[in-house]
Structure 1
Amino acid sequence: MSDPYLPQDDIVKLRDTAVEQGLADPMLRRLLFEGVLPKYRGSLPMLPAPGQQVHSDLNEMNRVERLIDGTVPLAVWLRNSVGQLSDAAARDVFQDALDRVVRDAAGEPDVAPDVPTGETKEEIVFRDDTVPFEFLGGGALAGTSVARVKVLPYAGGALLQPLALPHTGTGWLIAPGLLVTNHHVVNARKRTAVERPVVDPADLRLQALGSRSRFDYLAEDEGDAGATPELSAAELLAWDEELDYAVLRLADAPPRPFLRVATEPLTVTPDVPVAVNIIQHPGGEPKRIALRNNLVFEADETDLRYFTDTRGGSSGSPVLTDDWTVVALHRGTRRVSDVSFQGKSTAFVNVGTQLSALMRHLRENSPQVHAEITAAQSALSRPPQPQEV
């Protein structure tokens, strides 16, 4: 049994809010468990009182790290609950709990939440947000370079006992056969209340070699494991915990487009918002894209901070500008209360590692990998810069 995701006080608060908002209605229980393995749902104790049932369900799910298919039942239940709520205060209670569960389940490292205010609704509305039509084709091509990644945890050279359950993330090609994702995706450990366990380097390599990357995994393929092949990794080439990246060489990877990466850090100013796009496999599900309503509001030499829609499984996604150049490696999400975005007093702030910082680290610590990526990148033709609109 793993450490619980949420303290008991939070479970009680969720139960009370669920009862107040009508989520304890037995008729809604099946909807709240939509997406959770039926066998697990059927194993939960059944109680006569609705409030007791919700409390029991929450306690049971809170003790389960993930199921055999890699899903986190508490996260699925909380996400479904958020979708049922119209009261803003109640949604915040559930959304805050969901954010913490998703972050801890993915093993995301802590990112400082204290960020300055910087976005106002007027800066977004009063500008032409159209893009050339070719933008769509470029995105479709970029998406072929993005894969869902599954990683099984090892300990002491063997699969973690008593049951090794898969962790999911997103990865993408930076050069022929070279896949980039987060270190914490390959690390494949849930965050605990006191730490984010980091596995031994030997086990980390085993986890990388045992990873499976599935390209072209689309909604039409959901539920059909044989629709597209899963590629294994031949080598873990480079990684860094602080910048939260890992580079894997895929085994027997067929030719496939790879993404162009930025050579300089993206810079932003408060009065000129920059839109970015994120191609991702949220929750290990088929490929999705968050388009352009994702504004970078702060950047430094190492980090990019932006607003977007992501969730567990999006870790490792490419953060792309409108010419489909990767400017950052998405690594985590935070909710803040001091940032205004589109008229909301609270908003998500996502954090990604600038690709220029990642490449600089590779140049200094893994020069052969850096040289291989640089050679591949130099062979890419640079696209015309998008026109100002």
Structure 2
Amino acid sequence: MSDPYLPQEDVQRLKDTALEQGLADPMMRRLLFTGILPKYVGALPVLPAPGPQVLSDLNSMNRVERLIDGTVPLAVWLRNAVDQLTDAAARDIYQEALDQVVRDAAGEPDVAPDVPTGETKEEIIFRDDTVPFAFLSAGALAGSSVARVKVLPYQGGALLQPLALPHNGTGWLIAPGLLVTNHHVVNARSRTEGARQVVDETDLKLQATGSRSRFDYLTEDDPDVQEIPGAELLAWDEKLDYAVLRLADTAPKTYLRVATEPLVVTKDVPVAVNIIQHPGGEPKRIALRNNLVFEADEQDVRYFTDTRGGSSGSPVMTDDWTVVALHRGTRRVTDVSFQGKSTAFVNVGTQLSAVMRHLREHAPQVHDEITAAQAALNGHP
């Protein structure tokens, strides 16, 4: 890649922390490289001293956008390091670096910070947080409509040269055969020099039809999961960061219910949202805890629910598994606290009502197809 993921001062801080916390021990090196292609690891320089070795490894990975299998080696290494650290301050240093790398690798768009200051979330101790037991089975059914999406970049009508590396995201079915994900997932470009390159329409459509979606990707050791190709890019918008794809006929028949009105949040009535996702292109995961909505407006929903790079395009759902927003990225905030701790970020998604309104105005046939499917889901002819 032309630009490193992390500035050199951050790399140096990671190296210093590794020395302090024992991560530079030569016995730890193999563990930290777990999940990274052995051929790549074997090509890295081997140095006699622990400090220079860690610094060399970090600098080498910092210059690699991603490997042929789609993994970002620096992100994998940092995630392994976080799992090994017990010191809270050291974990924060590594987690902050990991968050930055996965955001940049996913090409998540920068959003100008405009969250009002001076607001805090109070501890909720008077509200019944239990849900019906059927919540679990309904969630499993909802999860069957969520897929890991892999997109290869094209340029000038051909796979991007010298090497077309896959970009991972998440998508979900809004109607039979219709997949919703982020525009930036289909765009399949990492952020460089502070901005994402937007491909032309011809290449964008090629990337959509060349995409592969896996709906039953539940474990790493499942070799028989079917990948479903894209058939057509139907509608998209860069500002709202959405794309609608038609998949091949083999797509699952189940699909998710979507909200018709914007999610409204008031200070005294907290709303929880749940996100089924494929973070980092990994098997399906679900965020159920620490998941309250921070605020919402006509276009955006902002929430504390945990996500990582690769979660882009995930459905943001209320406790009845209705999709209220399309997860797209992270927003930096100031003077915001959650559960008694200050936070620098909240996650952000596009209101589904805004997506549907845009479809009605700019892609009415797609809007009508979705509306008809949603009416059938709700028991209306």
Q: TM-score range by the shorter chain?
A: over 0.9
Match of 1:181 in 2: 181
Match of 1:108 in 2: 108
CA offset digits 1:259-291 (Å, max 9, x no partner): 000000001112221111101111111111111
Moved more, 130-139 or 27-36: 27-36
Match of 2:47 in 1: 47
Distance across 2 between alignment mates of 1:382 and 1:112? 41
Residue 63 of structure 1 aligns with an amino acid whose one-letter code is R
Cα drift, residue 90 of structure 1? 2.4
SS at match of 2:330: strand
SS at match of 1:275: coil
Alignment of 1:369-388 (within 5 A): 369-381=366-378
CA contact (8 A) 1:276 1:292 kept: no
CA contact (8 A) 2:145 2:252 kept: no
Match of 1:165 in 2: 165
CA contact (8 A) 2:119 2:335 kept: no
Distance across 2 between alignment mates of 1:119 and 1:135? 29
Distance across 2 between alignment mates of 1:30 and 1:348? 32
Distance across 2 between alignment mates of 1:30 and 1:85? 16
Change (3 A) 1:382 1:335: farther
Unaligned runs of 5+ in 2: none
CA contact (8 A) 1:118 1:270 kept: no
SS at match of 1:351: strand
Cα drift, residue 112 of structure 1? 2.8
Task: Say what the alpha-carbon RMSD is for the aligned residues.
Answer: 1.7
Matched, 1:331 2:328: yes
Matched, 1:284 2:281: yes
Match of 1:386 in 2: none
Change (3 A) 1:223 1:193: farther
SS at match of 2:173: strand
Match of 2:141 in 1: 141
Residue 253 of structure 1 aligns with an amino acid whose one-letter code is T
Distance across 2 between alignment mates of 1:13 and 1:264? 46
Equivalent residues, number? 379
Matched, 1:120 2:117: no
Moved more, 253-262 or 170-179: 253-262
Unaligned runs of 5+ in 1: 384-389
CA contact (8 A) 1:234 1:251 kept: yes
Cα drift, residue 338 of structure 1? 2.5
Alignment of 1:257-336 (within 5 A): 257-334=254-331, 336=333
Moved more, 277-286 or 248-257: 248-257
> Quick one: percent identity of the two aligned structures?
80
Residue 148 of structure 1 aligns with an amino acid whose one-letter code is R
Match of 1:29 in 2: 29
CA offset digits 1:29-72 (Å, max 9, x no partner): 22222221222112111111111011000000011100111110
Matched, 1:90 2:90: yes
Cα drift, residue 194 of structure 1? 2.8
Matched, 1:130 2:127: no
CA contact (8 A) 1:35 1:76 kept: yes
TM-score, length of structure 1 as denominator length: 0.93
CA contact (8 A) 1:3 1:63 kept: yes
CA contact (8 A) 1:306 1:349 kept: yes
Change (3 A) 1:47 1:63: same
Match of 1:192 in 2: 192
CA offset digits 1:105-141 (Å, max 9, x no partner): 1111012345345443522x44221001111111011
Residue 296 of structure 2 aligns with an amino acid whose one-letter code is A
Distance across 1 between alignment mates of 2:300 and 2:83? 31
